[in-house]
Structure formats: C-alpha cells, structure tokens
Structure 1
C-alpha cells in the first residue's frame, strides 16, 4: 500500500484554534488557557488553586475539605473557560477557605490561594 501513496502531497495552509493529526496512530493534545496568560494575577490564582487541590488530596476528606475542593474545582474551571474568576466565585472561594480553617492555614498553597483571592477582591 505504501507504494500507492508515492507522489501524493498533503498541504495545510493554516490551523487556527485547533489541532490536526495526519496518519496512523497519531495523538493530538490541545491545552486551552484562554485569556489566563493575559492577567498575571489570575494565572497566579490558577496555579495556587491547582497546587492546593493537590495538597488537599493528601488529607483525609472531611466536609470542610470537600466543600473547599468543590470551590477550587469551580474556580479552576471558570478561569480556564473565561480567563478569570468572577468576584462572586472569589467570594465563595474565600468563604470556603475560611470554613476549612486550620487545615488550609497550615499549607503554603492554602496561604497562596487566600492571598491571591484577597488581592483580586481588592482588600
């Protein structure tokens, strides 16, 4: 079959907003961080949220940590989808951090998320 493909050309002018895989056994991965790179404060929050989620996974789950993890997931999804966490999302995240209390306060990643949220909320 390889002989029958001889002399055929494949030309792609451009690919915008997607990915292309050509041939057998290809894998295409796309990471979309819409708008996050444009706002360093949101990018910092996203990185801190991801680190805190990884740190929380090492704890035995409780109602406090489960609620916080749910807010962290929602914040991560919102930043990835729109490029920023809304003020309402930030307020809910701040409240979840407060409920989690000492569990989060002992983690550097928890402090980083709290500081990012405070800075983005303006106070």
Structure 2
C-alpha cells in the first residue's frame, strides 16, 4: 500500500516570504532597496525636508526644544515618505503646525520656507 504524500500548490506569490520543508530557510529580498515609489510632489517634499534637516543640523540656528521637535517631525516625515511613498495628512499637518510656530525660522532659512511652501502655507 503506497503512502500518499500531501500535494502543495503555490500560485503567483508577490511580496511574501515562505519556506517549505524541515530544513527550509526563508530569505526575503526587496527590489529597489525597499523604498516605496514616489510621485514628483513627494520627491520634491523629500528633498526639501532633507535640506531643512541639514540646515538645522549645520549650526545655522541655535538648537532649542522647538528646533529639536521640528527636526524629529522632519525625520519622521522623511521615514514615512521612504516607507510608503508619501506623507500622510496628519504628518503634513504636524509639519505645518511646527513651521507656523517657528515663523522666525522660516524667515531665516530658505529651506524652511521651501518646505512651508510645499505644504501650502
């Protein structure tokens, strides 16, 4: 009497990692370095966010709790754009609020003005 082995069928699999068998090892590789695709508006905002972060870190402004909070929000925005391809509405509103609170900063740094302009301020 022949034993019947279970049958496994795998269709089209995308964006998943799996392993089969007792000694199998699952390894995942992401194409494109893992960055999500972005439209031109997201690319432009990402460039402006990076430029403002560089200006904040470059000693052009005195470091305060407010500039640290702005830098943290910019870092989160950069991360979100890299992960998802865009910044969500609540993230954009948070940046608008922080930049509105830092009007002297936006007048002083052209990069802050650029980010504010891209946010529709």
Q: How does 1:1-123 map to 2 (within 5 A)?
A: 17-18=30-31, 31-36=33-38, 39-57=39-57, 58=59, 59-118=61-120
- Residue 87 of structure 2 aligns to a residue in which SS? coil
Could you list the structure 1 runs, at least 4 aligned residues long, displaced by more than 2 angstroms after superposition: 30-33
Q: What does the per-residue CA deviation read over 1:31-81, in whole Å, with 9 as the maximum and x for residues that have no partner?
A: 443112xx1011000000000000011222101101111110110011000
- Give the CA RMSD over aligned residues: 1.8
Residue segments in structure 1 that go unaligned for 5+ positions in a row: 1-15, 19-29
Decide which moves more: 101-110 or 75-84. 101-110
Looking at structure 2, the residues matched to 100 and 74 of structure 1 have their Cα atoms a distance apart, in angstroms, of: 18
Distance 1:107 1:34, change over 3 A: same
TM-score, normalization: structure 1? 0.67
Q: TM-score, normalization: structure 2?
A: 0.68
- What residue ranges of structure 2 are gaps of 5+ in the alignment? 1-28
